[in-house]
Every structure is written in structure tokens, then in C-alpha cells.
Structure 1
Amino acid sequence: MKEHQEKYKVLLVDDEPIILRSLKVAIPWDELGLSIVGEAKNGEVALQLIQETSPQIIISDIRMPVIDGIALMKEVLPRSAKLIFIFISGYGEFEYAREALRLGAFDYLLKPIDHDELAEMLKRARERLDRQKENEQLLLSVQNLSLLARERMLAEFTLGNPRPLQHLKWLENSELEDEYFMAVVRLDDYAGLTARWSAEEKRLWLFAVRNILEEWSLENGALSIFPFYNGEWILLFPASPGIGKRELGEQLIAGIKRYSKLNCSVGISRSTRGIDQLSTVYPLAAQALYRRFYSGQAGVFLEEETAAGGSREVQYPKELEHSLIESIRTLNLERMLALFDEMSVFIEAQSLPQPLAERLMIEMSVVLYRQFEHLNTHNDWSIEGLLSRLNGLGSLPDMMNVLKSTFRDWLEQSRGTAGREDGRSIIEKVKRYIEANYHKDLSIEEVSEVADLSISHFCTLFKQISGYTFLEFVTHCRMENAKYILRSSNVKVYQVAPLVGYQDPRYFTQVFKKATGKTPTEYREEHVKQA
């Protein structure tokens, strides 16, 4: 390997220490241009290490306690689509390996590990990463931001808050200093699709569409591409892409239709300059897409044509929008309804013609609907259905009544699940569930479902509030109950193990000694003497 060549980072995940040790010493990591940045004994620890170290390659056992290898991959791939997973599986786990390949794994190998075979896999993995890196150098430097930083920045831009730019001065000379325009790609009838898809199908479809867009973007000179809302992606193009904007949008629609069989529409903004204008051109492209709800047909909608159709410029009531967002975040029904009345007064005071009034209400409805999505209370509400109902009405009072009744229903339903906004009450509920079921083979997926949170969100929230990782708390519960049994009964040590969730008495003894500094027998004898 050339000395200046960057080493790619590798994370090792296996619950068998001997395998971790053999992987470290038997593979010529330096020669392959790779560096081990962490080791994890299960998927829960791996999730934290992935956040901390950002590896490009993960070598993982396919069967592990807490979070297995496939569950780990399904959790992180939607956020880090270019991660390379190589799985290690036993001879009796071929179905798991095949499932892993179907879901996006790079390759797998069987135990006992052939280290030469693994080294060849890693060479191929490095070649793929090298190709990806060459392609990525053509993209806008903003794309090199971490996914978390980019999502945070985009959320702030959507609210019209430029403060993140104060911390991103190094972007001032990026390619966005030249003229560019934005294309917003949105799946048609997304609510209807998600109602038919399972959660796993939804992840796979969104992952597939993103891959289609990324490949198309590389071939057609896009500056950057990133997902924004669920079912929506943003692409940035230089002001002179070589083809007309409408033709470009039609190619995007045709590509997604061809490879995924899904329909989408594209809204395209005017050209602008500077990264601080992202918050300006997104509403323009999104407004162009609103015409999709009036036309009744999928297609390409240009912001220039939308602007040409209006007769006047209207100052968007940003403070009113912020107040409505806050009323939804706090589930304040009375405040929300009063603010809708203020919106009606604002529209009347401006004497807006119907097209402009409709445009304002549609834009406000979409923004507020996103807040309900963030609450994560219901997935079957349809923004498309709401906008279609608004489109069929002919007066401001009728439209406002529909808005108020719809958002009242959504907020009242959200109030019914308001407990999920209180992180402490969520974790207390989970702790009670663990304390009642610690003797079973608890998985983190099962407990995350109890909390109604994603695995990664649950892990972070549980650690923040309880001070334990999930596995540490389960072990704590088991050890406390084991100590109680040992102090209070004559149950034999090997019989205590299954009572607190351990099928292997020897492993139970190891965990107990690590937790207390004594074997179960020593602990019992000490407390019998004290009694």
C-alpha cells in the first residue's frame, strides 16, 4: 500500500473473544490499507461504536445476543448506505447468510474462518471503497458532512434559521458559491404506499430509490443528493446542467419508474447562489410540487412557471408558522385552533385571491404535517388526502374549517399517546417491563418495540436517562435478583442461573463474579455468616 493512501476503518463484531483475537492477528491489515478502529461483543455495543468511529467496513458474526448481525445491518444501512458488511456464519446458518446478502451484505464466509479467503474479500471491499471515493470527489464538498450534521443543518434551513452557517465558514468557497438550482423528488401517494408496506419493505424501498438517484446523479453531473423527508429527496445541479430543467426532471421520473416501478413527481427551483440560499429555494421547489395536487397527474413542475401564475408577492407569515409548530410540539389544542383563526384573519386582511390563499394554506399544512411526523404518533394520516379536500373547496371559511377539524383530530389522537414525548416515562415503562421479564431471553428489538422507538434512538435515550446500556440494566436486574435468591433460599447455584435468565450456570457464575467480585457460593456463604 502506498504510504499516503488513506486507511479505511474496520469494526469487528463478535461475541467470541477468540475470534476477535484471531481476526486481529491473522489478517495483514496494514498491507490491505485497513485499520481496526473498534471491537464489539454484540450489536448494541457496535451501534455505539459505529456512531463514534464511522467505519467503512464491518465484519460481524451473523448470530449474536442482544442485537444480531442482520438486525445491526438493517438498523444502520438506511442511514449509511455505503457501509460494507461482511458476515461470518456457521454451517447451519446458511439461510441467515442468504437473507443478509438479500438485504445488502457485501459477502459472507463460513466458520472456521479461512483467513486467506477473508483477505481476498477485504481486497475487493477496498476496491469498492476506492471507486466510491473517486466518484464522491466529484460531488459538492457539503456532501462530506456527516449525515447527522447535514440533517441538523437541513432542519434548521427548513425553519429559515441560518445559525448553523456560523459554524460552517469553511463551506463559503464550496461549489454552491457558483449558480445552482434545486430539484425536489417526491414519491406520489407516499401515504398510500406506506399504508401497504411493512416497516421492513418501507426501509428497502426508500433505500432502493436512494441508490437509483445516487447512481443517476453521478452520471448526470449533480452537485449533491440527500434524503430530506421520508419519500422525498433533494438534488442540487449546476445552473447549466447541459439539458433543460424539464427534460432533467423527466429523466429522473423515468429512471425511478424504470428501476423501481414507483411513480414520483419533481419540483424544480430557479437558480441561485450560495449555501445560505438553500432555505430559500427549497420552498420554491416544494411550492412548484404543490401543483401536483391540482393537476391530478405526476410530472415535472417548474418554480418559474408557478411564480408566473401568481399576480403578486405575499409576505409569508413565518412567525405564525413558528407559533403553530410550537403548539403542535406541546400538544396545545386551544392555542393551535386560535392560531388557525389568526391565519384566517391574516389572509382576509391581505385580500389574497383564491390561488394565493390556497398556496399559503397548502404550504402551511405541509410544514405542520411534518411536525406530526416528528411526533411519531401515527403513520396512516394522509397529507395528500387533506390537500385534495382543500382543493375541492371554494371559500376561505370552508377551507379553514377543514384545516381546523383535520389538525384537531390529529392533535387529539397525538394527545392520547403524549406519554411518548416524555422520555423519562418511556424509560420507566421499559424498566418495569425488563424487571418483569429479566428471566426471559430479552432482545433489544423486543424492548424497543415496547418503547415504540427505533433501536438506535432507544439505546441513546435509555443510556441518557437510566445511566445504563440496555445490556447493563438487564444484567443488573438479573444480578440483584440472583443475590436475593442466594441470600433468602437454599436453591442450588446451578438452579439459580435459569431463574434469572442464564441457561449456562458457568456463564452465570462468570457474570456474577464480575458484577460482585465473588462467586455465587462465596456470596451466599458470606451473607449466611452475617445473618
Structure 2
Amino acid sequence: MLKEGLLFEEDIILTWMRDRFLRNLVSDERCTKSDLIDSLSRLKLNPYYTFPALALIEPTAHFEDEHEKTIFLEQMRDFLHKQLSDGSVVFLDEEGRAALLFSWVSKDLLVTLQHKLNEQLNGPVNIGVGKPCSQLYDIYHSYRQAAKALQYKFYRGTGQIIHYSELGRYESLQQYPADKEKELFNAFKAAESSAEIEESVNVFFEWLLQKGPIDTQSVYDLTVRLLVGMEKKALVETENISPYEHFDVMTIVKLETLEEIKDYVIRFLIGLKEVLSHNQKESHRSIIKKTIHHMEQECQYASLQSVARKVYMTPTYLSLLFKMNTGKTFIEHLTDIRINKAKDMLKRTHFKNYEVAEKVGYQDPRYFSQIFKKKVGLSPSEYRESIGK
């Protein structure tokens, strides 16, 4: 009688031999029908399938290293093996996926296995299913189809059972849509909320895929080019931009679905928008500071038109910007500056009232007196008398 440890060791060896044989089978290492049946029998595997097919099962979990992933896959294989009772077999392929060889008449089993795996692993699995073959030694066709079906998770999302027979052909992207990038950038600049940026990104990708899905590599390439273009446009329009998190090409190519790519683009643009808004506010503060400086230094001759020229802005835009940032109109603030200077002159000099009026920008002494009394509550003469008391 064999010891338990030896039995366990033999089970490990048998599993390893099965995996190796089945990997060779799906890699198109052709063998005769009789050799195939004999090999399967010696490995204690079912040699007879009714329209054999192959499904690839891929976990969506992320692993710290290859060792952790290998242990996880072996546990998943062992769990699946215990669920099978119809002659189907599970093995691990070279790409780190569990491969299920089964008879097409048992295809409904896939839904049951998916539910059980989701419960066992506390997370969804992706399943790609190839078409059935007439002969077992043609199973490599079904294996390749299953692999292609699995790739379609890029569009379908994770946690799906995707059959190769459901796939349509990929459309080709003839040229980069520079005009659509420009439209997205304009929408990005005009956006007043994260929701508006998200909507603009979705519109861009909806247009991109309006004729159907395009090959995934083109989507990755286009996404990188899109982010480069958006970033360049933003930098051109902004001086002295604050530090911000640049997009990472390696992060993008590791994203597995279109939704993940769109989410990445949206997050990047939202972050870029926040940086640009901050820099724009800082730029506006600098412009208003320069504007007020010119108003104070040249209040006798200052006008909206003359100051706008000095800060390189149109009078209309400067007027709007000034009101937004100070709460006052340009004229209101200029009047305050003039009256404060007039008060100082009335307090410290012996200039006549009309001379004070001229020096702060008022050619009409009576108009100056009216404005002064409205702001201070006293006429220029009354104010000077009150100071002298």
C-alpha cells in the first residue's frame, strides 16, 4: 500500500503531465487520432468528446508577483476540477489562464461555473469561448478563438462570457481625427464641471466607434496621441503652469477595457482643468494687480482704454475681469483712488480745491466737489476745515 505522501506526489506529477500534454495539444502539435486517444487514456483523461470546444477562464484580480498568481491559478484549477463530472478537463495554459476542454453539448455548464467561481473568488472572472470542433486534434482552432474572444473584454467589460461566434470584425482607423481632438479641447476649455468633461470624452469615443469597434492597439495608440495633443494645447495657452501629474503611457497600456481607458482620460483632464483654472486665477490676479498699480500711478490721466493697453487686454475683457476679481467696476475703483488721493492732498498741501481736482483727474471743479461729497459726506472745503480743527 502506498503512503499518503507518495500518493500526493503522484497526483502532482500527473497534473503536471496533463497540463504539459494539453498545452502541446492546443499549440497545434499534431498527432494521429489513435496516438491522441492513447495519450489521453494514459493520463486518465476522457478521450471522447462530442464536438470538443475550449474556454479560457481569466481572473480579474491583480497580483503582486508571478508566484502569487501561480498559486491563485492552481487553486482555481483545483476548484474547477472538483466541479466537473462530465469528462471535461481543466489545465493551465502558457498565458496564465485556466483552460477548460469540454463537449459542446455541455456548454451551459459555463454559466454555472462562472457563478461558482465568482462566489469562490469574491470577484468576477472573464471567460472566452471558442467554437466547437469536429475532431479533438483540431482543438487548437477553438483555443485561438477563445483567446480572441477573451480580448473582446476590452469592449464588453470584465466578468462576461464572450463567445467567439458573437464577435464582429474590427473597423480600421484610416487617420487620426485631429478635428475631433480640437472639438474635445474646446469643450474641455468651456467645461464648468467634471460632469461636462466626462460627457465630452464620451462623445469623442462614441464618434470614434460609431462604425463599430476598432482594433484595441489602435485605441491605445490613439489615446496616447490624444492626451499628448490635449496637454500641448493646454500648455500653449497657459504661461507658468503649476506642477501637475503627467499621463503615464505604461499605465495606459495596462488598462484592460475601453471603460478603464475612458475613465483614465476623464480623470487626467479633470486634473489638468483644475491646474489650468488655478493658474488662470493666478494670472488674473497678476493682471488686476498691474491694472491697479497703473491706476494709482497715473490716476490723473488713467482711463479704461489706456490701462487696458498697458496690460495687453481689450477694454471690454479687462472691465469684465476687473469686476469679477474685485467686485467693483473699473470706474468705481478709479474714483476711490482719486478721492483718496484728493483727501491726502487736502490734508497735507495748500493746493486750491480746483488744483486738487485737476491733479487727481477732474477738469471740472464742481463735478469733483459733487463726487467728493458723495463719497466722503463733506465737500472738499468742509473736509479741509474738519482736518484743521
Report TM bin, short chain.
0.3 to 0.5
Q: TM-score, normalised by structure 2?
A: 0.39
Q: TM-score, normalised by structure 1?
A: 0.30
Structure with larger RCO (C-alpha < 8 A, sep 6+): 2
Please tell me whether Structure 1 or Structure 2 has the larger radius of gyration of its CA atoms.
2
- Whichever structure has more strand as a proportion of its residues is 1
